[in-house]
Each structure stands twice: as structure tokens, then as C-alpha cells.
């Protein structure tokens, strides 16, 4: 299978042959020499550096050591989001695109309540399931300061390279602009919760 994939991607294969196997550029300096030039050993090293269990004591240790900004990603419980505001500079609601637990609820379901609990000023970032400009507008209107998306750009990149990624950006921008025009929002700041009418089937979760 590997040889077949290499055969149908000659430019990538040639680049790899000339430059070597892609590396974790940001992690090479931390390697203890345990990887040996193959992707499996590199992935193993990266995995070994990840914290398996995160609690508030560990987060406090990080806070004590690092005086710069900290963003905590992966929050899916209102109480955790509220508590995290004492440790970090921004909270990031995410179920990691559903790839960790595919039955996890959407972060959008807890966003309105999180915003209500943490107040209007604390920065909230959200991702997972935002694939269109309309999706982005929902996240902004329900309380997020930033809406992140990844898969649409990956699809565009895989299809057309840099042009594909830029094309996805233009699509999302045009869709969001269209939504704003339809509701007479002159800028992003005018995308407020008042613009959203939640149906009975939209279940705002508190997971308490």
C-alpha cells in the first residue's frame, strides 16, 4: 500500500527522497535521540511527551512556571470552564472535532451558558463542526470571540494545494459576509445573541 501511494504521488515521493522523512520541526530540539528517522518512532516520541492526565494542580504548576498567556483547550463542562478562568487567559471549547469521542456533544450546546457564566469580557474560543460561514456566524452570535475550523482547509489543501486553502477561506468569508448583510450587521461585533432564535430542538447543555 505504501509503495502504491508513493507511486501515485511522485512529487511528494521525490521530495521525501531528496529531503528525508518529514520531521516535527518544533520538537526536534527536545528529542532525546529515541527516534530513528521513521514516522512511527517520531509519532511515538511526540505521544510520550503528552500529559496523560490533567488536573487543576497540574494546571497551577504550569501557571506558576509560565507567566505568558495560557489557553486551555478541550473544555466541555460549564463548571470546568468557569473554574478555568482563574488559571488561564482564554478558554477553548472543543471536542476535538469528534475524533476522540465521537458521541461527544457539540461545544455549541454549552457555549451560551458558558458565556453567561464567565461574563462578557472573558475570551472564548470554539471549534468542532464549523464548516461554513453560517456555522461561524452561529458561534459568534452565541458568545464565542473566535471560531476555529480546520477540516475545510485540509480538504481544500488536499484538492488544490495553497490555492485550495485560499479558496476555502474566500468561501467562508463570503458566506459570513452574506449572513451579516441579511441581518444588517455592519461588523463582527454586531453578531449578538439577539440575532439567534433557538428552536425547541436546540438543547443547551450544562452537563452538571
Residues annotated as part of the active site: 96
Nearest to 110 by CA among 188, 204, 17, 202: 204
Q: Where are the alpha helices (DSSP H) in the chain?
A: 2-8, 10-19, 39-48, 56-65, 78-84, 111-118, 133-141, 151-160, 162-182
DSSP symbols for 27-85: TGGG--S---SSHHHHHHHHHHTS-S---HHHHHHHHHH--S--EEEEE--HHHHHHHT
Amino acid at each position: 500500500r505504501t509503495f502504491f501511494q508513493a507511486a501515485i504521488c511522485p512529487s511528494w515521493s521525490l521530495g521525501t527522497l531528496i529531503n528525508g522523512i518529514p520531521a516535527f520541526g518544533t520538537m526536534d530540539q527536545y528529542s532525546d535521540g529515541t527516534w530513528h528517522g521513521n514516522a512511527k518512532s517520531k509519532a511515538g516520541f511526540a505521544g510520550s511527551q503528552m500529559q496523560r492526565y490533567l488536573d487543576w494542580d497540574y494546571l497551577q504548576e504550569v501557571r506558576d512556571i509560565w507567566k505568558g498567556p495560557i489557553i486551555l483547550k478541550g473544555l466541555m463542562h460549564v463548571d470546568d470552564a468557569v473554574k478555568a478562568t482563574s488559571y488561564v487567559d482564554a478558554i477553548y471549547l472543543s471536542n476535538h472535532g469528534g475524533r476522540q469521542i465521537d458521541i461527544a456533544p457539540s461545544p455549541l450546546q454549552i457555549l451560551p451558558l458558558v458565556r453567561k457564566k464567565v461574563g462578557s469580557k472573558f475570551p472564548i474560543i470554539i471549534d468542532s463542526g464549523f464548516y461554513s460561514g453560517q456555522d461561524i456566524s452561529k458561534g459568534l452570535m452565541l458568545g464565542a470571540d473566535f471560531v476555529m475550523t480546520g477540516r475545510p482547509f485540509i480538504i481544500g489543501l488536499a484538492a488544490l494545494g495553497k490555492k485550495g486553502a485560499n479558496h476555502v477561506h474566500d468561501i467562508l468569508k463570503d458566506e459570513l459576509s452574506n449572513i451579516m448583510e441579511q441581518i444588517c450587521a455592519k461588523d463582527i461585533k454586531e453578531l449578538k445573541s439577539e440575532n439567534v432564535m433557538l428552536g425547541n430542538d436546540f438543547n443547551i447543555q450544562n452537563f452538571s
